[in-house]
Amino acid sequence: MHPVVSALAALAAAATPVHAQRGLSQADSAQIVREAPDLDRIDVEEQLEDQLPLDLGFRDHTGAEVTLRDYFDGERPVLLTFAYHSCPTLCSFVLDATLNVVKELDWTAGDEFEMVTISIDPEDTVERAAAKRREMLAAYGRDEAEEGWHFLVGDRDAIADATDAAGYRYFYNQNQQQYMHPAAIMFMTPEGRFARYLYGIYFEPEDARFALLEASAGRSITPTERFLLYCYAYDAEANTYTLVAMRIMKVGGALTVLVLGVFLTLLWRRDRRRTRAQESALLGRSSSPLPEGGTRDRFRSAPAEPAKAEA
């Protein structure tokens, strides 16, 4: 189990809404992690490069029947979240964290990428989904997101198929009357394959940016973004993207070779121009007429005198 998933799931299982808002000390958190029951039932098993079944049927915030395929156009990545809309603690934290991080991005939901939030509660209603959607869109404040952030509800089988495909493990706690689930978001390729997972109730904007770039699989990204994506790699232990020293060295070496090549080329061209100029000057002097008595006349051999007749 990912350590962030473990800690957050345990806190969600043990905390009431008041406790969750107030926060706990590191020692209290560790104690809860040790004592939380059924912790092994809450997990994320990453399914990188696996396919999400896009023909699964759900209902959107208007009650219309849709499939997941409706949100994967083959051109733009998709940010996928699981939640449920009567959740008193962790769901709100995860959705708020998702909202906060996309607000920091230059890319906009509905333009460069899509967002899909699936409820894991088969009892969730269209009305609840619509209310949560209105709340999130109002806080997001970007008009394009009206067609870019989708809240879906579905039956138990469709939810199970979607969460199983994502490796998203959760369960319903009868004692607390709520779902115990991980804190994770997923970035999908335009074709519906899992590209990257991020964990927690706070996400760094740069991590989300790189995850979207990675999920976009090179489509419609600038050369600068492609260069940055090459130089960064996801560190699963740190749950963040980090500079890769070897790639930086390769890029530095390539730039050095390029600069040296340009310098040598310019130097060669300058020397070549200088040589041609010198050759032209010499040819010009050798072909120009010389005045009488000039160098050529001076060194020209005198005509031989006629031989004297012998006596």
pLDDT tens for 7-18 read 455 444 444 333
Highest-scoring range by mean pLDDT, 70-74, 85-89, 203-207: 70-74
Give the other-Cβ count within 10 Å of 184's Cβ.
Answer: 25
Among 87-91, 182-186, 196-200, where is mean pLDDT lowest?
87-91
Supply the pLDDT for residue 289.
Answer: 59
Question: pTM to 2 decimals?
Answer: 0.65
Query: Is 3-243 CATH 3.40.30.10?
Result: yes
How far, in Å, are 93, 212, 298, 300 from residue 294 at the CA level?
A: 100, 82, 6, 10
Cβ-in-10-Å burial (0-12, 13-18, 19+) of 38 comes to: exposed
How far, in Å, are 9, 37, 174, 184, 204 from residue 169 at the CA level?
A: 11, 15, 17, 11, 24
Token match 């043990």: residue? 14
- CA 88 to chain CA centroid, nearest Å: 31
The domain limits of the chain are: 3-243, 244-277
**Percent of all residues in the chain with a pLDDT value above 90, rounded to a whole number:** 45
Q: Which residues pair with 70 in a beta bridge?
A: none
The confidence band for 52, taking pLDDT boundaries of 50, 70 and 90, is very high
Q: Record the tokens describing residue 284, joined without a space.
A: 């010009």
Distance from first CA to last CA of the chain, Å, rounded? 130
